[in-house]
Structure 1
């Protein structure tokens, strides 16, 4: 477990926040206003996402404890067209991660819960990241890349790549789909780009509960 957050708060507090989020979905999220026009959005593809229902059913018993706020959607939509900038600064979509289970996370440096959970996301990627699973954190700070880069250096993130969307359009796109209303937002997505489950608010991503959820989604 990560013992301390970058704000010198014990990880136990983050666990408590996540537990509250499990009772009142998204209560710990930092709310933000809509800006911009939104980007690619989702594609409804029930045929393509047929196996996603099976994955969701498999992980349903694992949505508990520190990941209790994760909720399966009524419809397992394809999110492959959601776009943002890759680690090299070039536009990419979730199609770029085809074949991998992805934990897609939207965050900002001004979002305190986002800052608190980032070390745990880094630890999760370090332990479970491979050719079948990846944590994909997308920063939505406006302006250039320097502030998020400096923050990640400051807290010693060494396993996560920096993905960016300084237009906030990716957030707006997910908001219109009913998947986002504050930060952080975390989506669990299968190898076909289909949504397995979603959460608004932070979680202890380096906890045993989170690791069990990821292993269950990957099928390992």
Structure 2
């Protein structure tokens, strides 16, 4: 049983093009986004993904690789940035924080979830998870890199307001799941311009393996 939640960040420069360090835990500083090999369906099936630049994220490679770990990958095109996680998790997709309640939005990252912090000409954070009770895929966003400092926070429904798309698929063995995100460029900068090959943006990904209770 995982209690409290296991939170593991990967601070990186997300590079667009047309490393894995092994220790107690992985130490990733670069995630290379590749052009998709063809049309990308946001359906939780990563068969249409280029996995050649995937990175491994794991809190402790010696003991947790394959049980609490994930392969993380990125792709891009003229319209959006795509992110995917192939999670290994013995209690997959367990998050009972409701996406429509501000009180729950403040705590949603305490259970199974992915946080995407980006810094372009603006700073924005996306938090993505699957709400177990309603079987709903949820993505909220808030302005700031890490804006939890006592000031009021305005939460946005990133799916409804920014056109973010998300999908999940539970692994056949019940020991993991895939999570797929499509974030339009218009949600990632004030200008909304598409990034091009050879450019990079600063980002941090927080992967959270939450407790079996669904509320960390």
Task: State the TM-score, normalized to the length of structure 2.
Answer: 0.29
Higher relative contact order (CA 8 A, sep 6+): 1
Structure holding more helix per residue: 1
TM-score (normalizing by structure 1): 0.28
